[in-house]
Structure 1
Amino acid sequence: MFRMIPPGLAEAARLTRQGRLKEATALLQGSLAGTRPKPTPARPATRGRIFEVDPATGDATPPGRAGFFSRAQGRPRPAPPLAMPEGARFLRGGFGAAQGERAWRLYIPASLPAGPVPLLVMLHGCTQTPEDFAAGTRMNALAEAEPRLVLYPEQSGTANAQRCWNWFQPGDQRRDQGEPALIAGMVRQVMRDHAVDPRRVHVAGLSAGGAAAAIMGESYPELFAAVGVHSGLACGAAQNLPSALAAMRQGGGTSTVLATARPTIVFHADQDRTVHPVNGDQVMARAGAAGLRAEVERGQVPGGHAFTRTRHSDTAGRVMLEQWLVHGGGHAWSGGDAAGSYTDPLGPDASRAMLDFFRRHG
């Protein structure tokens, strides 16, 4: 049976395409509650697909404006400079194919040993850049301590006005199509040009990047040994913009469960007002948590947030899935550095937790 879409969603999608995000959100909430607020006078429309907003203000960054919104400041700022040890390199490059082209940055640590090393693919969130994401997650610094290559694919402003990965578009959710094909092509390019251990390639992302990471893990299981989803959504949670808005607010409608558990680590905060935390549960459910033994641990960051960590193990005792729920946190990388946008230094360290998880899978 087909599920009827609430009538307000089409109008919400139109407002979203025009950049009128506050109105679209209010209309969506009103439609779900059975009311229909009156739109405010129209503002000039922005070009392209706009999909994530500053959670503190509800505003969207106009396309073409330099910088991005700082969650703390609520206004654009330039990407922070990245300090690197002598001998380290942060290369610029790009990849093109029939599906299009995207730029990337690749961090090569000064401490990189000879021989095959792990590769971590990091997918930034909306309005972010690779440099910003690297600063906020501190993943380059961690790559020096635990040597690995770190690849940062970069979404373009022409593909999405907010530089969001288009996780909600059917053509960007499937193997060998759209953005998954481009990201996979970048990974293979790096593996061809550098000494990468093919058994230790992992992918992680934040928000729209987290949703894209979930898609990559399912679309290319032979390429990625494990997946990290931070404040994201499950693969298949939406098929268009209206269903994406609904999924962000109340969870997606996907009911597919993988036949075997897919090694996945999830971070989500229970006060996330941009992507509802139920989406973290749905990522875990789709990854195959049913049938695994769950072990729950509660903790507290000194001077910071409390958290609940749930580990799901198979019959051999191997932790296949790991879920962190950060109590009191918002839509931000847990334990991140304030030098980057969308970070919460008071949360448990998501970067270290993900690397620990990836080390056990690959």
Structure 2
Amino acid sequence: MDAPVAVPAGAPCATTPADPKPLSPTTKDRTMTAFATIDMAEVTRLTQAGKLAEAMAVLQGRPAGAAAPAGPGAARPWPALDMVAPSIPGGAWTAPGSAPGSTGDAPSAGTAPSGRQGLSETIRSLRERFPKMGAMPGLAEGLGAGRSAPVPVPEGARFEERRYAGAAGSRTYKVYVPSGYAGQALPLVVMLHGCTQSPDDFAAGTKMNALAEEQTFLVAYPAQPASANMQRCWNWFNAGDQQREGGEPALLAGIARQVVAEFSADPARVYAAGLSAGGAAAAILAATHPDVFAAIGVHSGLACGSARDMPSAFAAMSGGGSAPARGAHAAVPTIVFHGDADRTVNPVNADHVVAQAAPGAALGRVVTRGRSEGGVAYTCTVQREGDGPALLEQWVLHGAGHAWSGGSASGSYTDPSGPDASREMVRFFLAHAGTAAR
């Protein structure tokens, strides 16, 4: 990897143009026009008054109380999470149509659920449309909470909670120490959960602890509290959380440094990976701290600078936003997973992540296609310089939605039938041992 270039304090993550596939101006204009006409104050007032159906109508561009557009072709204004919540506590999240008794068809946009189901759907939709829910109190409870089931810990291993505090604030995190640890300088993988998730939930769903036990490396799971984001999303869309000094990047890099110091880990083998909002946060870490992270993994996420506020976040997630520019920083090796049927974060964002991470030099490209044991077809594009390790690796999961590929059903937002994203990311990471600045 190229020698890291220091990013000045407060510098934005994107400064020079990139050249990903152009987006349709019509789509972008239509999306941003829709956002600009929404009366957010009225949405907030209705929500606080418990009038969720009326709030949803305003979000969809209809008068409060107006009926939803009918017909199977009625489009949603923004994507909805394409995963079904468990029907019993501790149950597995499933893809639409895979739950027992399901017809296989998602409700049409013109179908209005009733009773408890309608309330749940309304709350879920409102929460999904607002990456940062702090301005809309009262929606934090009940829906999509991260799992808290105990994570199995083998004999001799540890899974313990720690706290980091620095100038930017503080965060708790959990760290997995494999039974094979005896003081040696191990690699470290920092895992960034998605919205509504927790460290335990993410550890269970990604099975990263099992890989750490098998291959002997450390894993840290920072926790985003509801006080920072009502949905416990990493605030990837805030300009203040896209810079090196201050904000969440400083907190996450501080956690990585603290784990390295406590366990004498190898500072040249520190990596970050995340899902959805966590994937976007990982991309930001590559832009703001290329001297800390030797490689990153982005699963169903977005590039650094994809959004700077709420309207642009909606646009980016739906695929109607502007492609972010390439950052003025060292190119950090990046592996990307994204389902091409993801209705939450448009798959074009995977292309943006790859384009932003590309180094200046031209790379050789190899494309392979295959199918996982669970039957998910994929296309994998690997880019490298000469005979060196892969610098960019992009997995397109055909027909897959917004879920961690190859994960365990014991965690939320997972697709056990897909290729093992955790194992592939670790393989990719360890090929870049020793490339980050010490």
Correspondence list, 1:1-362, <5 A: 6-10=32-36, 11=38, 18=47, 36-40=61-65, 54-56=81-83, 58-59=124-125, 60=127, 63-65=139-141, 69=144, 78-250=147-319, 252-258=321-327, 261-288=331-358, 291-362=362-433
Alpha-carbon shift at residue 38 of structure 1 (Å)? 3.3
Aligned length: 338
Task: Write the distance in 2 (CA, Å) between the matches of 1:15 and 1:289.
Answer: 45
- Given that residues 228 and 264 in structure 1 are in contact (C-alpha distance below 8 angstroms), is that contact kept between their aligned partners in structure 2? yes
- CA deviations on 1:293-328 (whole Å, 9 max, x unpaired) are 111000011242100000001134431100000011
Alpha-carbon distance between aligned partners in 1 of 2:326 and 2:140, rounded to the nearest angstrom: 40
Q: Contact (CA 8 Å) 2:32, 2:315: kept in 1 or not?
A: no
8 A Cα contact 1:21 1:53, kept in partner: no
Query: Is the contact between residue 178 and residue 217 of structure 2 (CA under 8 Å) also seen in structure 1?
Result: yes
Check the 8 A contact 1:12/1:242 in 2, yes or no.
no
User: Whose relative contact order is higher, 1 or 2, with alpha carbons under 8 Å and at least 6 apart?
Assistant: 2
Q: Residues of 1 paired with 2:303 and 2:53: CA distance?
A: 25
SS at match of 1:358: helix
Structure 1, gaps ≥5 residues long? 31-35, 42-50, 70-75
Q: Distance in 2 between matches of 1:327 and 1:128?
A: 25
Shift, 1:54, TM fit: 4.2
| Alpha-carbon spacing, 1:195–1:272, altered in 2? closer, same or farther (3 Å) | same
- Tell whether the 8 Å contact from 1:8 to 1:27 is kept in structure 2 after alignment: no
For residue 145 of structure 1, report the CA deviation from its aligned partner.
0.3
Considering fraction of residues, name the structure with more strand.
Answer: 1
Secondary structure of the structure 1 residue equivalent to 2:189:
strand
Relative to 1, partners in 2 of residues 1:178 and 1:15: Cα closer, same or farther, differing over 3 Å?
farther
Contact 2:174 2:220 in 1 (8 A): yes
In structure 2, relative to structure 1, the CA distance for the partners of 1:170 and 1:102 (3 Å cut) is same
Distance 1:193 1:343, change over 3 A: same
Q: Which SS does the other structure have where 1:256 is aligned?
A: coil
Write out per-residue CA displacement over residues 6-44 of structure 1, whole angstroms, 9 at most, x where no aligned residue: 34314275577659999888877x7xxxxx433448xxx
Q: Quick one: distance in 2 between partners of 1:27 and 1:254? A: 28
**1:92–1:243 Cα change, 3 Å:** same
CA contact (8 A) 1:271 1:330 kept: yes
Helix, strand or coil at the partner of 1:151: strand
1:82-122 residue CA offsets vs partner (Å, 9 max, x unmatched): 11111111111111223222111111111224310000000
Shift in Å, 1:223: 0.3
1: CA distance, partners of 2:285 / 2:164: 17
Residue 257 of structure 1: CA displacement? 2.3
- Return the alpha-carbon distance in structure 2 between the equivalents of residues 312 and 95 of structure 1: 36
Larger Rg: 2
In structure 2, what is the Cα distance between the partners aligned to 1:341 and 1:296?
31
Deviates more, 1:225-234 or 1:244-253: 244-253
CA gap of 1:264–1:22, structure 2 versus 1, over 3 A, is farther
Kindly provide the amino acid, as one letter, of the partner of residue 228 in structure 1: G
Contact 2:147 2:200 in 1 (8 A): no
* Counterpart position of 1:47: none
Unaligned residue ranges in structure 2 (runs of 5+):
1-27, 67-77, 84-120, 129-137, 434-438
Residues of 1 paired with 2:243 and 2:256: CA distance? 16
Alpha-carbon distance change, 251 to 6 in structure 1, aligned in 2, over 3 angstroms = closer
Q: C-alpha distance in 2, partners of 1:279/1:304?
A: 24
* % identical aligned pairs: 49
* Residue pair 1:12, 1:24 contacting (<8 A) in 2 also: no
Taking a change above 3 Å as real, the CA distance of residues 40 and 321 of structure 1, as seen in their structure-2 partners, is farther
* Contact 1:88/1:107, CA 8 A, preserved across alignment: yes
Q: Given residue 312 of structure 2, which amino acid in structure 1 is its aligned partner?
A: S
RMSD between aligned alpha carbons?
2.8
Provide closer, same or farther for how the CA distance between residues 175 and 304 of structure 1 changes in structure 2, counting only shifts above 3 A: same
Q: For 1:343 and 1:21, locate their aligned partners in 2 and report how far apart those are by CA, in whole Å.
A: 29
Structure 1 residue 53: Cα displacement: 6.4
